[in-house]
Structure 1
């Protein structure tokens, strides 16, 4: 980091910041300073005097749960804040379940009494946030897992936390800096209602691969899964019993109906729905990282690093971080009821969109994308027409945004800056300043 830990905590110690209305000249200067196109949205971003988060005029933020803080269970807040979801809690509180993307060599770790693998430092923490957006309680809810990047919320009130690593005791034996004692590459379920760490149980039937994120169709209970590799597949898991993933089910991969082994990395038409079908994976828990190899051999389509995914209004959107002709990212839209998929967004320049990662469908119809590029990082909004705009800028450093999600009442956007690890609550005039 290019700033001291003392400076970080001094900056982040402020509980809330209200941004002010800006003049046309100030808005122009903001555009020139950031070098980014704004388009439709909530207006130009106002530079944050505290150097944390630039937002449109009228929006405010509060920070909490910084890396290193002491939690209620006596452990410290780990780093690597990543995927996250918000759930309704008792007495009008909000419960956040948050991933920590940490490996065995990370400087911090998720500490809990029931680690899945004692040599691994990833996992989840649960946060209880009050009506005033103040943190009430935080504690470890899952530990001993490997690089919990993202995941997804379920309609039955739990968070599926996903491992983005397929290490085994053979691939990383004792003596290696990354050694592990168990197989990795699984999903784990964490109920939002827990008050202490769960006993980890891998959801083996959902597949062992470089998991990124999941989204559940509430109408069917089918779980859709992304995979973060350069030749990833897009999966669905059909559980034997709706809402009970531990009881197993069938894993399948998406195939374009009229294209065998489609490669969607570039030169795909935008806005053209295409019919799909599904091929069944017969070995969802292979000894090697070969689930996608089996699926592709059966005709499944390949995607360029599938990452964030979210369900909203009968549609499922997911990001391909390095997709597109320029490798700057794509957003795909899958409609389960029609069994169609289409390329919804493809970045044409880094100034427009750079490597989208986590994604959320907002209550107001737009998508919010978390950038994970090389330079300055933005939260990028996407209108229902596919128009892009910048909603927030990380003015602290160049670390990625992660874990964007809205409170159950739709009034607060929660999001993380992954490093050094900080969670934001953002609120303001969500239905105004729209172009």
Structure 2
């Protein structure tokens, strides 16, 4: 990412907007919050044959459908595809996807292997017997952390390049949503999908080994910006007292969803208030990167915020759970616009956005597709002139 300097706005007090006039540095530094503007790729065109509206120069294809064999393989794609990530694999890559259904309905995670041309060559299970695997996160050592969204949910470390999945109970038992690894501080950030949830980080005893370490929770005031600290969670098992209720002063977030780390910044989304938060890790401060109530001029383009990922250029791509079935892009210039819209699938949600290592293909799923049921999921790939 290029180094940039931005004039940052900070929200101070309870809902009062002010501008500090201070300069913050960093390639992934965003002023806050993002505002409406024309998108970097231009307006959306009419829907294509797959029902997807895209800017000029971009095309979509269906990669897999729930209940059907992945093309070129004999593997049946799972129901309710959710969080996902891409991994380099020789001259090709692997796309991993969670299944947000119960263990009896095939919960867990699957992978598709692609060759250099983007053609599927293999597909298989990498996790079985788990429930409501919603989002997760990729590690620097090429494992996929698949997170269970249940009250006693666990993080499962899976091995797309080969290996047996294993639970990581030291990372806490709560309604896990997403994870994002920070190789600089050697921690993994974790979101919690509760209306009074918290934001956590796991500090492994040994980086690269998630079997032991400390679970910590973010402690901060009630405002939408300020400073933060971390406090140890005494009992990561969360029984009998939930992890979010163990530390006085833990900051509450309304329905934690996606999480993404890049260049000393971690972003995460909260669905209950349609916000994207950012933690400026070097400065030890937090603020809003997006708030649908603060978009001017309106209307707000992004509602139902959910999964989030970043491009090699530094743009953030945020998927909607509901809304208009869109993926919106927030740029380093603090603008937000619609990148794509899926039509004819209003009973679904967009999940699992992830770029290939080269940054020129974007995978994502419509969790329930045109049918509106978990068995109707569709996984797509979009190619085109992405900024890299």
TM-score by length of 2: 0.83
For the residue of structure 2 that corresponds to 1:56, the secondary structure is coil
**2:139 aligns to what?**
154
Q: Does 1:294 align with 2:236?
A: no
TM-score by length of 1: 0.74
Of the candidates 253, 257, 262, which is equivalent to residue 217 of structure 2?
253
Residue deviations 1:155-180, cap 9 Å, x none? 111110000012xxxxxxxxxxxxxx
Q: Which has the higher contact order (CA 8 A, sep 6+)?
A: 2
Q: Mind listing any 5+ residue stretches in structure 2 that lack a counterpart?
A: 1-35, 369-375
For the residue of structure 2 that corresponds to 1:285, the secondary structure is coil
For the residue of structure 1 that corresponds to 2:206, the secondary structure is coil
CA contact (8 A) 1:53 1:396 kept: no
Residue deviations 1:129-176, cap 9 Å, x none? 12222211111110111100000000111110000012xxxxxxxxxx
Q: CA RMSD in A?
A: 1.9
CA positional deviation for 1:351 = 4.4
Which structure dedicates a bigger proportion of its chain to helix? Answer: 1
For residues 45-194 of structure 1, the aligned pairs below 5 Å read 45-70=44-69, 75-90=75-90, 92-104=91-103, 119=104, 121-166=106-151, 184-194=152-162
**2:385 aligns to what?**
429
Q: Mind listing any 5+ residue stretches in structure 1 that lack a counterpart?
A: 1-36, 105-118, 167-183, 324-328
CA contact (8 A) 2:50 2:61 kept: no
For residues 12-411 of structure 1, the aligned pairs below 5 Å read 39-70=38-69, 75-90=75-90, 92-104=91-103, 119=104, 121-166=106-151, 184-194=152-162, 199-246=164-211, 248-256=212-220, 259=221, 262=222, 268=224, 272=225, 274-288=226-240, 290-295=242-247, 298-323=248-273, 329-348=274-293, 351-373=300-322, 375-398=323-346, 399-411=348-360
Which structure dedicates a bigger proportion of its chain to strand? Answer: 2
CA positional deviation for 1:74 = 5.4
**1:25 aligns to what?**
none
- Quick one: structure 1 residues 382 and 289, their matched pair in 2 at CA, closer, same or farther if it must change by over 3 Å? farther
CA contact (8 A) 1:208 1:284 kept: yes
Report how many residues are paired: 340
Larger CA Rg, structure 1 vs 2? 1
Superposed structure 1 runs of 4+ greater than 4 Å apart: 71-75
CA contact (8 A) 2:144 2:157 kept: yes
